[in-house]
């Protein structure tokens, strides 16, 4: 795909105009080279104080000021597929009357990247050392993640005391994230012709009690570092059956457990296995740990003060968990309503871009 | 497929040898021409007292003796696919020590057809008029049935007071048959991301209560004309789910209801709809009525005496239901263990062929 924008990126236009320019460089997952090239060129031309490392289409740009603490700030460059929603255009929100930029990537998450790029160029003397990261392949399978790859390839570059991921959070701080785990639960039976069904054992019937238990289950609400995480345990698929005249000997369903970040993956797996103790088999098929919000760290508390709104728990899984896995407390903070992410009428409030840039700048300049 | 047997069929060899010869003419459903040609030629050469009508690969052969009553006797010419089990060979049953004929079609149901062909040629002066029917396409979809087609094309030829279907019944009389009905039971819900599952309604969870009810259900035992029919209500397939991170808005399962022949199709459908009254949708997808055994008819009672064993209920659906639908009481009576039908080691006891031929001959010759 060719770029809609051909001019070099210039951070002096400010985060709002830069949002428009970034969105107009199409960068669907797997096709991030043009935008990564543009970002790298911008840093070379406008941020000579940063030490830049490129890994595929991921760019790591660091200050090396010898500060006591270091903050990592990251955002992904890719978007979900375009659906006749580029180039961006300015619009007014039909519900709130706010001035918006409409189009693919405005929310998830080029407005956040624009804020980061402007501050990366502008903040030559921040109160903490900074590690900026812009990465590829966030909107696809987790094993393709450019952030994960760069962390494996350059672990030393990722040392930090706190991390901020620019995922859309309506300009508030969303702390940590729930973990997610999928398990296949299987019930077995014995085949028989349905004309003589008493000779068999119906595996689909046997699954009924487990589904009933799921239906009656009240997921927990777990408070972690002051934020409430609401869990969820759901069957997301079911299959079973042999033929229209055969008592089935097999029924299995996939469950997705969204668990509070206070639980480890092993603890979450144990919860699921105990819940389905009556099943014939419970197989964990994939999992990703959650991330504690880390809001008890002094650095985080002053960031909360700078932003000025009450932090909430992030429920979906995000890359903050990758920082958390490195022992770095991490939060989500970015412009845009997360409910509009991936929507065809994705749009971001211009005020959220401006306010987000101000809050982050104020904190990094000395409120830390 | 070419025939393994090339010599013309001769009923004077008796039903045992004729069983071997019929089996060695391969006749998998859809490929019955060779065997139908052989049967038609045999009737022309050895049963000039019969009036023969051919419809596709179905043959109807009738006496026209002006008797007060008429009995229809039918058997299908096709088999399920051959699996290295032709030509037939003589063997000894490993469990019972009985002399057997082993190979495809021995049980289902060329031994029965052989008994019928021998008697069709031999009985020139039976106590009742006889309508012999040998037909194609029994082992496949019901709408392909040669018997059904011939009944539609030649209704007058099928008038009778009683019918015997030569399906394997271990040489005993199996009366009537259960009906069968399939219904799709659907539960609906509301999609949501599993990270916010409380915003949705899980359709798979909702199905749990219905499956629990099925698991707890004790099917009825219904006595019809003195025979006990055991019913069955089974989920035979289930599906549901959207994606691994979506609360599913749809779950449906297929149930198979095997119902006693005292119930009409409409009554059976009402039973299923009432059972699943809590479902969002219950759709009847196919059905076939059962057949009453008709053992209360005097003709049938004397047949029971001639066979000399206690009749039992036929549980699976068979073509007796087609006669029953025409108002003709019908029973299954044929050599062979029905549990060996379709098995790769299908085999029939020679004694059952001989005894079956004797019982049928004795009854038709005057015990009626």
Among chain B residues, the shortest Cα distance to A193 is held by: B316
Whether B93 maps to a domain, the answer reads: yes
pLDDT at B368: 65
Whether B4 maps to a domain, the answer reads: no
Whether B19 maps to a domain, the answer reads: yes
- Give residue-wise pLDDT tens across range B122-160: 999 999 999 999 999 998 888 899 999 999 999 999 999
Q: Which residues on chain B are in Cβ contact (under 8 Å) with A251?
A: 238
Task: Report CB contact under 8 Å: B237, A204.
Answer: yes
Q: How far apart are CA B255 and CA A194, in angstroms?
A: 10
A98 and A219, same domain (yes or no): no
A271 and A223, same domain (yes or no): yes
Decide if the complex's ipTM is over 0.90.
no
A135 and A185, same domain (yes or no): no
Which residue range forms the structural domain that includes residue A239?
Answer: 179-288
The secondary structure element, H or E, covering residue B32 is none
CATH number (domain holding residue A46): 3.40.630.10
A333 and A273, same domain (yes or no): no
Tell me how close the Cα of B54 comes to any Cα of chain A, in angstroms: 33
Task: Report CB contact under 8 Å: A236, B242.
Answer: yes
B219 and B344, same domain (yes or no): no
The per-residue pLDDT of chain B, averaged, comes to 93
A195 vs B202, B238, B316: nearest CB: B316
Which of A232, A249, A286, A317 is best to mutate for the B interface (most B CBs within 10 A)? A232
The last residue of a domain, from among A255, A288, A321? A288
pLDDT at B243: 86
B19 and B78, same domain (yes or no): yes
Tell me how close the Cα of B140 comes to any Cα of chain A, in angstroms: 13
pLDDT at A367: 61
CA distances from B40 to B9, B26, B71, B124 (A): 10, 16, 20, 17
Task: Report CB contact under 8 Å: A193, B316.
Answer: yes
A16 and A61, same domain (yes or no): yes
A138 is catalytic: yes
B37 and B91, same domain (yes or no): yes
Residues of chain A with pLDDT under 70: 1-6, 367-368
pLDDT at B6: 61
Degrees to nearest 5, angle at CA A10 with A8 and A16: 115
Q: Which of A88, A32, A340, A289 is nearest to A176 (CA)?
A: A289
CATH number (domain holding residue A190): 3.30.70.360
The last residue of a domain, from among B288, B315, B343? B288
Among chain B residues, the shortest Cα distance to A180 is held by: B195
Whether A189 maps to a domain, the answer reads: yes
Whether A4 maps to a domain, the answer reads: no
- Give residue-wise pLDDT tens across range B14-45: 999 999 999 999 999 999 999 999 999 999 99
B173 and B55, same domain (yes or no): yes
A135 and A260, same domain (yes or no): no
What is the DSSP annotation of A9-47? P-GGGHHHHHHHHHHTS--BTT--HHHHHHHHHHHHHH-
Q: Is residue B5's pLDDT more than 60?
A: no
Q: How far apart are CA A352 and CA A163, in angstroms?
A: 20
pLDDT at B367: 62
The last residue of a domain, from among B249, B270, B288? B288
Greatest mean pLDDT range, B223-227, B302-306, B346-350: B346-350
pLDDT at A6: 60
B355 is catalytic: no
The band of B3, judged by pLDDT with boundaries at 50, 70 and 90, is very low
Task: Report CB contact under 8 Å: A194, B242.
Answer: no
pLDDT at B2: 42
Please pick, among A32, A78, A129, A319, the residue that the annotation labels catalytic: A78
Whether A3 maps to a domain, the answer reads: no
> Hey, which bits of chain A come out as E strands?
51-55, 58-62, 70-76, 89-92, 99-102, 129-135, 162-165, 173-175, 179-188, 192-193, 221-224, 227-230, 232-241, 246-247, 250-259, 281-288, 312-313, 330-333, 347-349
What total number of domains does chain A contain?
Answer: 2
CA distances from B359 to A303, B123, B133, B300 (A): 97, 13, 19, 13
Task: Report CB contact under 8 Å: B237, A238.
Answer: no
pLDDT at A2: 42
Please pick, among A55, A138, A161, A225, the residue that the annotation labels catalytic: A138
Q: Which residues on chain B are in Cβ contact (under 8 Å) with A240?
A: 235, 237-238
A165 and A23, same domain (yes or no): yes
Whether B223 maps to a domain, the answer reads: yes
Among A20-24, A343-347, B109-113, B252-256, name the one with the lowest average pLDDT.
Answer: A343-347
- Tally of residues, chain A: 368
B106 and B46, same domain (yes or no): yes
Which of A179, A187, A202, A337 is best to mutate for the B interface (most B CBs within 10 A)? A202
Whether A266 maps to a domain, the answer reads: yes
CB atoms near residue B199 (< 10 Å): 11
- Identify whether the C-beta of residue B207 lies closer than 8 Å to the C-beta of residue A213: no
- Identify whether the C-beta of residue A352 lies closer than 8 Å to the C-beta of residue A170: yes
Task: Report CB contact under 8 Å: B232, A194.
Answer: yes
């Amino acid at each position: 795909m060719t770029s809609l924008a051909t001019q070099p990126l210039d951070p002096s236009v400010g985060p709002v105009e830069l949002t428009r320019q970034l969105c107009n460089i199409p960068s669907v997952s797997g096709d991030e080279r043009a935008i990564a090239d543009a970002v790298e060129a911008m840093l070379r031309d406008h941020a000579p104080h940063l030490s830049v490392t490129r890994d595929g289409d991921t760019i790591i740009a660091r200050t090396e000021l010898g500060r006591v603490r270091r903050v990592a700030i990251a955002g992904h460059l890719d978007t979900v597929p375009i659906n006749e929603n580029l180039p961006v255009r300015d619009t007014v929100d039909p519900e709130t009357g706010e001035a918006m930029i409409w189009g693919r990537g405005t929310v998830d998450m080029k407005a956040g990247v624009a804020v980061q790029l402007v501050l990366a160029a502008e903040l030559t003397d921040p109160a903490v050392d900074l590690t900026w990261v812009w990465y590829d392949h966030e909107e696809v399978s987790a094993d393709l993640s450019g952030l994960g790859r760069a962390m494996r390839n350059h672990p030393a570059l990722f040392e930090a005391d706190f991390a901020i991921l620019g995922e859309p959070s309506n300009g508030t701080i969303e702390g940590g994230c729930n973990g997610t785990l999928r398990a296949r639960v299987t019930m077995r039976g014995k085949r028989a012709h349905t004309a003589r069904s008493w000779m068999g054992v119906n595996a689909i019937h046997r699954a009924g009690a487990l589904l009933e238990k799921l239906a009656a289950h009240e997921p927990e609400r777990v408070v972690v570092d002051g934020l409430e995480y609401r869990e969820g345990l759901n069957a997301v698929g079911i299959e079973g059956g042999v033929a229209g005249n055969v008592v089935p000997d097999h029924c299995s369903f996939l469950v997705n457990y969204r668990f509070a970040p206070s639980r480890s993956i092993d603890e979450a797996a144990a919860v699921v296995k105990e819940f389905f103790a009556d099943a014939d088999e419970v197989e964990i098929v994939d999992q990703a740990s959650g991330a504690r919000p880390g809001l008890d760290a002094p650095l985080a508390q002053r960031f909360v003060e700078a932003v000025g709104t009450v932090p909430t728990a992030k429920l979906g899984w995000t890359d903050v968990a990758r920082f958390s896995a490195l022992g770095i407390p991490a939060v989500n903070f970015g412009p845009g309503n997360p409910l509009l992410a991936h929507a065809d009428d994705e749009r971001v409030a211009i005020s959220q871009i401006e306010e987000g840039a101000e809050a982050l700048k104020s904190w990094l300049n000395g409120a830390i």
